[in-house]
Chain A
Amino acid sequence: MKDNKLSNAQIAWRAAQDIADGAYVNLGIGFPEMVARFAPEGREAIFHTENGVLNFGEAPAEGEEDWDLINAGKKAITLKPGAAFFHHADSFAMVRGGHLDVAILGAYEVAETGDLANWSTGRGGVPAVGGAMDLVHGARRIAVVTEHVTKDGRPKLVERCSLPLTGVGCVTRVYTSLAVIDIDANRFVLREKLAHISLEALQALTGAKLVIEGGVSDLVVPEI
């Protein structure tokens, strides 16, 4: 562990442990894509990408890319046996229609109400939303993987989001570089934290009250 916090790969590993056998999963572009690398042995998860592929696999070797076969992040992918192609309206029927078990997304801010801000820093420039606003309403479980605080040390878990919202009351679990936190009845409920960090220190890095309910486990992740 570096700097006494989890790396992005370790956060992704922890999130992957909660993906059930047989789950249909959408991963947000960027850092959440790493979750696919850590799907536990013996469980078959099927990954969905907005641009119309179910059951895709690893990236191809360099030089082997087929640029007609990409994921929502425009990165080259491969297919697993039993993959399927479909058009965009079917793809978002899978999303909004409640057919995905879990979507794992990145975040700028998450509020204790489950509100998510992950599409606009509100600072001008070119706005871009992609499929995030659809995803937050579709999957049965919306999880977030994120650093616990911003690069300049401000909490990303807050009482109310200050940035433009992606969705209202949608996030159910947050995997951070320090803790695993559920959102239940408009509260952050702490489930796991790194053993070396005290509750007081974790609370000081969190912009809303952490509720303890039925005990807190150590967050244990392998070196990756």
Chain B
Amino acid sequence: MDKRVADLEAALEGVEDGMSVMVGGFGGSGAPIELLHALIDRFRATGSPGRLTLINNNAGNGRVGIAAMIDAGMVERIICSFPRSADPRAFTERYLAGEIGLELVPQGTLAERIRAGGAGIPAFYTPAGLGTALAEGKPTARFEEKSYVLERWLKADVALIKAESADRLGNLTYRRAARNFSPLMAMAAALTIVQATRIVAPGQIDPEAVVTPGIFVDRVVEVPDPQQEEALMRAGVSH
């Protein structure tokens, strides 16, 4: 078994028009910038993949990563909890012009919907959102004297993930708080594509330290010295 692929283009093969794409990261922490920029380059060269639904906590910052995908016109809809950032122009302009869809989900519900999608649990009850606009029209039920809102699982065609270490079997570790949504998204997508800062031999990652077991991963591409979204944003970089 060898999930390594030679380059970003090979890693992204099969990402097509109209797909739903989970993107790991919380703000710039964990954003798989090289995978996202390679997708943008392909879109600019070929016109595909477009009409994407992106699933992320946020909706891009500055002129790189998800914001650059929106600027490029690849994104039809975003499912997220917090579409604001230090520089949210890309999303805000298209949203206010009615050119991009938004499904706003409480952050913990977003995480649990993705986890449920990966775990084969079609729906669950949560207290979050009860009695608010975000739960309007959703069924509720009472358990032990309290009411809860029914929420559905969330799955995707593709997940794009940034890891720290990976091996050819797809076992992953993450760097510091860059873990956030990535282990959940890796479970919930039909095709999970990982960029890893280093690929090591099987056994080099202590089994006790594996965060995402390789069963959830389809492809791994090595991207040494990856770019960091927040650092790019602060440097004023546009992709």
A131–B179 touching, CB < 8 Å: no
Q: Which residues of A contact B132 (CB under 8 A)?
A: 133, 164-168
Number of A-B residue pairs having CB atoms within 8 Å of each other in the complex = 142
B73-110 vs A, CB cutoff 8 Å, 1 = contact: the mask equals 00000000111111010011001100000101111111
Residues in chain B near residue A128, CB distance under 8 A: 81-84, 104
Interface pick from A9-17, A37-45, A82-90, A176-184? A82-90
Is the Cβ of A131 less than 8 Å from the Cβ of B106? yes
State whether the Cβ of A96 lies closer than 8 Å to any Cβ in chain B.
yes
List 23 interface pairs A-B (beta carbons < 8 Å), by A numbering.
Answer: A50-B107, A51-B29, A52-B26, A52-B177, A53-B177, A67-B228, A68-B29, A68-B177, A68-B178, A74-B85, A85-B176, A87-B111, A87-B184, A88-B110, A89-B112, A92-B107, A92-B108, A126-B83, A129-B134, A131-B81, A164-B132, A164-B133, A165-B131
A104 CA to B27 CA in the complex, in Å?
Answer: 22
Number of interface residues of A (CB under 8 A): 37
Q: Is B27 within 8 A of A133, CB to CB? A: no
Residue B175, interface by CB 8 Å: yes
* A133-B138 Cα distance, complex, nearest whole Å: 15
Q: Give every chain B residue within 8 A of A53 (Cβ-Cβ).
A: 177
Shortest Cβ gap from B186 to chain A (Å): 10
- A137 in contact with B111 given A87-B181, A126-B91 (CB within 8 Å): no
* Docked complex Cα distance between A52 and B178 (Å): 9
Given A53-B177, A68-B176; A88-B106 close (CB under 8 Å): no
A 45-56 binary contact with B (CB < 8 Å = 1; else 0): 000011111000
Given contacts A67-B230, A68-B175, A126-B102, 9 further A-B contacts (CB under 8 A): A66-B176, A69-B177, A85-B179, A89-B184, A128-B84, A133-B108, A134-B108, A167-B131, A168-B132
The interface residues of chain B lying within 8 Å CB-to-CB of A67 are 28-29, 228-231
The answer to whether B129 has its CB under 8 Å from any CB of chain A is yes
Q: Which bracket fits the contact residues of B?
A: 35 or more
For chain A, residues 115 to 153, give those with C-beta under 8 angstroms from any C-beta of chain B: 120, 125-134, 137
- Asked if B38 CB lies within 8 Å of chain A CBs, one says no
**Least CB separation from A56: chain B residue:** B177
Compute how far the CA of A36 lies from the CA of B4 in the bound complex, rounded to whole angstroms: 44
Assembly CA distance A49 to B177 (angstroms): 10
Complex contacts, A88 vs chain B, CB 8 Å: 26, 57, 107-108, 110-111, 180-181, 184
Q: Once the chains are docked, how many angstroms separate the CA of A86 from the CA of B229? A: 21
Query: In the complex, how many angstroms separate the beta carbon of B13 from the nearest chain A beta carbon?
Result: 27
Q: Are B230 and A129 in contact (CB under 8 A)?
A: no
CB distance from B131 to the nearest CB of A (A): 4
Is B183 positioned at the interface, with any CB of A under 8 Å from its CB?
yes
Q: Is B127 positioned at the interface, with any CB of A under 8 Å from its CB?
A: yes
Contact of A105 with B by CB under 8 A:
no
Which residues of chain B come closer than 8 Å to A91, judged between CB atoms? 108, 111
A137 touches B231 (CB 8 A): no
A70 at interface, CB cutoff 8 A:
yes
Given contacts A68-B176, A85-B177, contact A127 B228 (CB under 8 A): no
Asked if A95 is an interface residue, CB under 8 A from chain B, the answer is: yes
A103–B23 CA distance with the chains assembled, in angstroms: 28
Question: Smallest CB–CB gap between A142 and chain B, Å?
Answer: 12
Contact of A134 among B104, B107, B182 (CB under 8 A): B107
Q: Are B109 and A134 in contact, with the CB atoms below 8 A? A: yes
Nearest Cβ in chain B — how far from A5, in angstroms?
29
Most buried by A among B127, B133, B134, B177: B177
Please, which residues of chain B bring their CB within 8 A of the CB of A95? 108
Are B84 and A74 neighbours in the complex by a CB distance under 8 Å? no
* Residues of B with C-beta under 8 A to A134: 106-109, 126, 128
Question: How far, in angstroms, from A21 to B231 measured CA to CA in the complex?
Answer: 37
Chain B residues in 8 Å Cβ range of A168: 130-132
